Amino acid sequence: MFGILHARRMYEDQKVVERKEKGIEPEFSPDFKASFLRLLPLRSMSRLWGSLMEVELPVFMRPAIYKAWARAFHSNLQEAAMPLEEYPSLQAFFIRSLKEGSRPIDADPNCLVSPVDGKVLRLGELRGPGTMIEQVKGFSYSAASLLGASSSLHGAEEEDFSREHTEQSNPADSNAKSWWRVSVAKPKLWDQTLLSPKKGIFYCVIYLHPGDYHRVHSPVDWNIIKRRHFSGHLFPQNERAVRTIRNLYVENERVVLEGQWKEGFVAIAAIGATNVGSIKLYIEPELRTNRAGSKILNSQPEPPDDRVYEPVGTGVMVKKGEEIAGFKMGSTVVMVFEAPVVSKARWREDGSGTQQKELVRSDEALGPVHEEEEEDRRRRKEVGDLGGMRLDRRRSRRRKLDHCLFDLLYRWQEGRLPVDINCVISNHDRLKDNHVRRFLERHGIPYHYLPTSPGNKREQEILELVQGTDFVVLARYMQILSEGFLKAYGKDIINIHHGLLPSFKGGNPSRQAFNAGVKLIGATSHFVTPELDAGPIIEQMVERVSHRDTLQSFVVKSENLEKQCLAEAIKSYCELRVLPYELKKTVVF
* Residue 41 identity: P
d(CA 359, CA 340): 24
CB-based contacts of 245, cutoff 8 Å, min separation 6: 30, 34, 37, 235, 251
Evaluate if residue 518 carries a pLDDT over 90: yes
- pLDDT exceeding 70 applies to what percent of the chain? 73
Confidence of residue 433 (pLDDT cuts 50, 70, 90): low
Mean pLDDT of 132-144: 81
The residue type at 192: Q
Where is pLDDT greater, at 449 or 518? Answer: 518
Chain center to CA of 417: 34
Terminal-residue alpha carbon distance, the chain: 64
User: In which band, very low, low, confident or very high, does the pLDDT at 102 lie, cut at 50, 70 and 90?
Assistant: confident
Between 219 and 444, the higher pLDDT residue: 219
pLDDT of residue 54: 85
Residue 345 has pLDDT above 50, yes or no: no
Q: What is the pLDDT of residue 176?
A: 40
pLDDT attached to residue 373? 40
Cα distance between residue 561 and residue 325, in whole Å: 34
Active-site residues, by number, are: 117, 217, 331
Residue 94: partners with Cβ closer than 8 Å, 6 or more residues away = 53, 214, 328, 329
What pLDDT, on the 0 to 100 scale, is given for residue 37? 80
Backbone angles phi, psi at 259, to 5 degrees: -175, -150
Q: What is the mean pLDDT of the chain?
A: 76
Tell me how far apart the alpha carbons of residues 258 and 93 are, in angstroms, rounded to a whole number.
29
Using CB atoms within 10 A of its CB, is residue 156 exposed (0-12), middle (13-18) or buried (19+)? buried
Higher-pLDDT residue of 131, 543: 543
502 upstream amide cis, omega within 30 of 0: yes
The DSSP output letter for 105 is P
Using CA atoms, how far residue 442 sits from 317, 380, 399, 432, 435, in Å, is: 46, 15, 20, 12, 10
**pLDDT of residue 129 exceeding 90:** no
- pLDDT of amino acid 346: 40
Question: Cα separation of 380 and 559, whole Å?
Answer: 17
Q: What is the pLDDT of residue 374?
A: 40
**Is the pLDDT reported for residue 80 higher than 90?**
no
Determine the pLDDT at residue 375: 40
**Residue 396: pLDDT over 70:** no
Indicate whether 295 pLDDT > 80.
no
Q: What is the pLDDT of residues 528-579, one digit of tens each?
A: 998 888 899 999 999 999 888 888 888 888 888 888 899 999 999 998 999 9
Q: What is the pLDDT of residues 17-46, one digit of tens each?
A: 555 555 555 666 777 777 788 888 888 888
Residue 525 in this model has a pLDDT that exceeds 90: yes
d(CA 226, CA 309): 6
Q: Which residue has the higher pLDDT, 13 or 129?
A: 129
Band (pLDDT 50/70/90 cuts) for residue 358 is low
What's the rounded Cα separation, in Å, for the pair 350 and 329?
Answer: 34
Q: What is the pLDDT of residue 15?
A: 61
Cα 563 to Cα 398: distance, rounded to the nearest angstrom: 13
- 96 pLDDT exceeds 90? no
Residues 403, 404, 409, 412, CA torsion sign: positive
The share of the chain scoring above pLDDT 90, in percent, equals 17
Amino acid at site 255: V
| pLDDT range class, residue 391, cuts 50, 70, 90 | very low
pLDDT band at 372; cut points 50, 70, 90 = very low
Summarised one tens digit per residue, pLDDT across range 469-496 is 888 998 877 778 888 889 998 899 999 9
**How distant, in Å, are the alpha carbons of 348, 376, 386, 581 from that of 372?**
10, 6, 17, 47
pLDDT class of 210 with cuts at 50, 70, 90: confident
pLDDT at residue 10 above 70?
A: no
Chain center to CA of 518? 27
pLDDT value of position 255: 93
pLDDT mean over 421-438: 75
202: which strand partners? 125, 337
pLDDT of residue 24: 55
The pLDDT of residue 566: 92
Q: In the predicted model, what is the mean pLDDT of residues 384-395?
A: 33
Whole-number pLDDT of residue 258: 94
Q: Model confidence at 182, in pLDDT bands (50, 70, 90)?
A: very low
Render 472-503 in DSSP notation, one character per residue.
EEEES---PPPHHHHHHH-SEEEEEESS-TTT
Q: What is the pLDDT, as a whole number, of residue 4?
A: 54
Q: Is the pLDDT of residue 275 over 70?
A: yes
Per DSSP, what are the bridge partners of residue 256? 228, 269
CATH number of 402-588: 3.40.50.170
H or E element that contains 474:
strand 471-475
User: Under a CB-based contact definition with an 8 Å cutoff, are residues 252 and 333 in contact?
Assistant: no
Q: Confidence class of residue 302 from pLDDT cuts 50, 70 and 90?
A: low
Which pLDDT score is estimated for 174? 39
Sequence letter at residue 4: I
Question: Average pLDDT of 58-77?
Answer: 86
Q: Where exactly are the structural domains of the chain?
A: 1-95, 118-150+197-292+303-342, 402-588
Q: Each residue of 220-268: pLDDT tens digit?
A: 989 999 999 998 888 888 777 888 888 889 988 999 999 999 888 999 9
Nearest to 430 by CA among 498, 355, 363, 349: 349
DSSP code per residue over 335-402: EEEEEEPPSSSSS-TTTTS--TT-EE-TTSEEEE-SPPPHHHHHHHHHTT------SSSEEEEE-S--
Q: Which of 236-240, 244-248, 352-356, 372-376 has the lowest mean pLDDT?
A: 372-376
Cis peptide preceding 171, ω within 30 of 0: no
Confidence bin at 188 (pLDDT 50/70/90): very low
Cβ 337 vs Cβ 261: under 8 Å: yes
